[in-house]
Structure 1
Amino acid sequence: MLKFLLTLSLGVFCVSPLQAGDITPVTKTCLPGAKQVHCERWVKDFKTAMDLAHKGDHGAQETVAFCLSTSCHGAVAIDRVASCSWHLVIANSGAATVLDGSNLRNTCRPMTPAEKDQARALSRDLVQKIYKRPMVTTDQM
């Protein structure tokens, strides 16, 4: 517990609060081998999806959220908070499906209360930036 608190306190001093413009998922360098071509394709597809997601493309938003939670064959660094944020954006898009709601619950519910608060704040900024309106509160988390 002491290690956790120490790590948390260091993080407070070393990391500034994130805003919507700061959600820049990290694509990874694909390792040489049999899966390299597949990984490189996912890196390219993820970057394209990220651009389209910021323009409100529902399918691209789903791809971004999926890759952030699964790494898309090692192409993207897993970021549960960012993935949850994108699932909340999808829930606020007006085009969410039952599957999107299930993905939101499966991604966000296991997170800590602090991670959920961070995801809500990030998604609030994204919804405002993408849809030019405030986020609708959801209790699905």
Structure 2
Amino acid sequence: MLKLLLAVSIGALFVSPLEAGETKPVTKACQPGAKHCERWTAEFAAALQQALKGNHAAQQTVAFCLSSGCRDAVVIDKVAACSWHLVIANSGAATVLDSSNLRHTCRPMTPAQKDEARANARELVRKIYNRDPAATDQM
């Protein structure tokens, strides 16, 4: 039982950025000595904490890692990446590059994936900014 509780508490550090109640890991286990993987895993974890506090640069890092895998340290999740790009678009600090990244990430997805990304982004915007997202999402 103690092992289970320890595993669950450690696993809580690596849960999906979209739903903390889920146990879907987004970081990968790094191979011993894989310094780039360890660095990106740590950077992703730190960025995720800051992104949830509204830090624009951290939100960009989270979206980038979920889209690219950050040198194989993070599980690629296009829906989650799109969700974060939608959050960035609703941050009030979005740039032209952010809009381009949103279109590049989100447009190729299926309608069901886009709906899921919108729903996840809606929850994140409410959690981070205490308001509803803008009506347009630029997808």
- TM class by smaller structure: 0.7 to 0.9
4+ runs deviating over 4 angstroms: 22-25
Q: Deviations over 1:26-76 (max 9, x none)?
A: 11011246xx10110000000000000000000000000000000000000
Alignment match of 1:105 (pick from 71, 85, 103): 103
Stretches of structure 2 lacking an aligned partner (at least 5 in a row): 1-17
Change (3 A) 1:25 1:92: farther
Q: Deviations over 1:74-124 (max 9, x none)?
A: 000000000000000000000000000000000000000000000000000
Higher relative contact order (CA 8 A, sep 6+): 1
Stretches of structure 1 lacking an aligned partner (at least 5 in a row): 1-18
TM-score (norm 2): 0.82
1:69 aligns with 2:64: no
1:24-103 alignment runs, 5 A limit: 26-32=26-32, 36-103=34-101
1:20: Cα distance to partner? 4.2
1:25: Cα distance to partner? 5.0
Look up the equivalent residue of 1:30 and give its one-letter code.
C
The answer to whether the Cα contact below 8 Å between 1:25 and 1:68 also exists between their aligned partners in 2 is no
% identical aligned pairs = 65
